[in-house]
């Protein structure tokens, strides 16, 4: 069968840099750090006391008060960002068949804040079970997809994807596959995460995964810097509307770009550490290129996983050199996690969104907080340190890797009418 072409027609974002796509993109271009001391709970006894939180977030500015109380913060994020994306795409019941509009959405962890609150309340009580009747539906990570579909009446494919920090990239790839196979006309996809909590920060601290640079939160996320000491936790949501080209053209939709291909692999190596030579990362980028029918030299920009961990940044760099060879030196590479922190299950969607904007606007966002070169990294690679760079971006690749060895990459490219 002939595969359908798949385009992006709507975007939504709720991030540590801003509560809309425009604010998010402006923050990325300006090299703004979204990191500050944690406001959501008392973290004075924690090894890490900072994160990239969504600032001044009040759910009732967007959602009915009763509705907001029935859903976890991660689902609040998902609904708000999806509202922006649906409006941006101009989707309504008048121009789509709701039976062919789906929601494939992701989260790495789901309602951890709700889970923590309910368990703590029970533990502090007298043993009588007094659980919130919405405890389970607030907590389960598939509920964001369900809530989005119910909010808009979309009755197409509906499910959640989870692969740790690769989750929303896998969701985008699944959405892409459903559209190109003709199983739906439109898919709302992406991811959300909200785990800046005692359990979230404490758990990652126990793994020694987080930066402990409490003296300078705004510079704590420093991918590819010699003195990087772990990732910075982030939160937020990114939403992308993917649609078949013929359907988008028929309803006169605005088209941001085309999704070219995606890949997924496993490291099969370690529960948290990457393969030291970046083998899984190498394989997934090759898989995405093959799926897209593209050559390494067709890529202009890579939004790397780049979490600011000593092992991860080095392994990913090795993989890029192995896949792209001499063309690696023509690439722009950047880690927007230097600004947003690591948004876990939402990272893939937010970083794919950054790639979409880079392709649309011909601007590469920077890797901020670079102070000291790492002698283990090839100095000829262009990590777009500290300042955005204007260049033609015909195609961009987004990498995400998750605990458990999950790897996912997606490629977006400029849309050109009549050309596949």
Compute the Cα dihedral for 242, 248, 253, 255 and give only its sign: positive
Structure tokens at 214: 């409490």
Q: Under a CB-based contact definition with an 8 Å cutoff, are residues 6 and 242 in contact?
A: yes
* Candidates 35, 43, 165, 343; catalytic one: 165
Helix, strand, coil % over all residues of the chain, rounded to 5: 40, 20, 40
Q: Under a CB-based contact definition with an 8 Å cutoff, are residues 345 and 165 in contact?
A: yes
* Candidates 152, 305, 370, 406; catalytic one: 305
What is 195-259 written as a DSSP string?
--SHHHHHHHHHTT-B---TT-GGG---TTBTT---B-BB-EEEEEEEEEHHHHHHTT----EEE
- Residue 342 annotated to the active site: yes
Return d(Cα 69, Cα 158) in angstroms, integer.
23
- The DSSP call for residue 158 is E
- Residue 370 annotated to the active site: no
78 φ/ψ angles, rounded to the nearest 5 degrees:
-60, -45
Return d(Cα 264, Cα 329) in angstroms, integer.
25
Measure the CA angle with vertex 332, ends 328 and 334; round to 5°: 115
- The DSSP call for residue 52 is B
Q: Which of 180, 190, 187 is nearest to 158 (CA)?
A: 187
In the three-class reduction of DSSP (H, G, I as helix; E, B as strand; rest coil), residue 156 is classed as coil
Q: Which residues pair with 190 in a beta bridge?
A: 105, 239
| Element containing residue 76 per DSSP (H, E) | helix 73-89
Q: Under a CB-based contact definition with an 8 Å cutoff, are residues 270 and 311 in contact?
A: no
Return d(Cα 216, Cα 52) in angstroms, integer.
13
- Residue 270 annotated to the active site: no
* Candidates 247, 275, 342, 406; catalytic one: 342
Q: Look up tokens 């389960």; give the residue.
A: 140
Active site residues: 165, 305, 342
């Amino acid at each position: 069968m002939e595969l359908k072409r798949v385009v992006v027609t709507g975007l939504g974002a709720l991030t540590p840099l801003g509560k809309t796509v425009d604010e998010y993109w402006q923050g990325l271009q300006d090299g703004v750090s979204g990191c500050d001391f944690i406001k959501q709970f008392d973290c004075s006894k924690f090894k890490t006391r900072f994160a990239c939180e969504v600032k001044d977030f009040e759910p009732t500015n967007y959602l009915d008060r009763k509705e907001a109380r029935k859903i976890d913060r991660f689902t609040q994020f998902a609904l708000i960002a999806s509202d922006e994306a649906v409006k941006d795409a101009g989707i309504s019941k008048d121009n789509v068949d709701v039976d062919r509009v789906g929601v494939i959405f992701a989260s790495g962890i789901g309602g951890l804040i709700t889970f923590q609150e309910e368990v703590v309340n029970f533990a502090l009580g007298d043993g009588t079970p007094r659980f919130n009747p919405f405890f389970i539906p607030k907590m389960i990570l598939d509920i964001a997809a369900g809530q989005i579909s119910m909010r808009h009446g979309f009755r197409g494919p509906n499910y959640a994807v989870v692969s740790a920090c690769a989750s929303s990239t896998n969701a985008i790839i699944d959405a892409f596959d459903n559209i190109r196979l003709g199983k739906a006309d439109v898919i709302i996809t992406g991811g959300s995460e909200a785990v800046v909590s005692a359990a979230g920060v404490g758990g990652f601290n126990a793994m020694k995964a987080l930066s402990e640079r409490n003296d300078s939160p705004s510079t704590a996320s420093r991918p590819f810097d010699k003195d990087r000491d772990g990732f910075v936790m982030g939160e937020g949501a990114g939403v992308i509307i993917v649609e078949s080209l013929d359907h988008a053209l028929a309803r006169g939709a605005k088209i941001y770009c085309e999704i070219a291909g995606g890949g997924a692999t496993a490291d099969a190596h370690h529960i948290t550490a990457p393969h030291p030579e970046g083998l899984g990362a190498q394989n997934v980028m090759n898989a995405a290129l093959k799926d897209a029918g593209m050559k390494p030299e067709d890529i202009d920009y890579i939004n790397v996983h780049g979490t600011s961990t000593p092992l991860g940044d080095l392994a990913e760099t090795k993989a890029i050199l192995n896949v792209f060879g001499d063309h690696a030196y023509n690439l722009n590479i950047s880690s927007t996690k230097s600004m947003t922190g690591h948004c876990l299950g939402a990272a893939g969607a937010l970083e794919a969104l950054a790639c979409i904007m880079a392709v649309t606007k011909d601007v590469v966002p920077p890797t901020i907080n670079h102070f000291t070169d790492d002698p283990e990294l090839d100095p000829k690679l262009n990590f777009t340190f500290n300042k955005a760079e204007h260049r033609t971006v015909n195609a961009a690749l987004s990498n995400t890797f998750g605990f458990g060895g999950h790897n996912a990459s997606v490629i977006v490219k400029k849309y050109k009418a009549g050309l596949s």
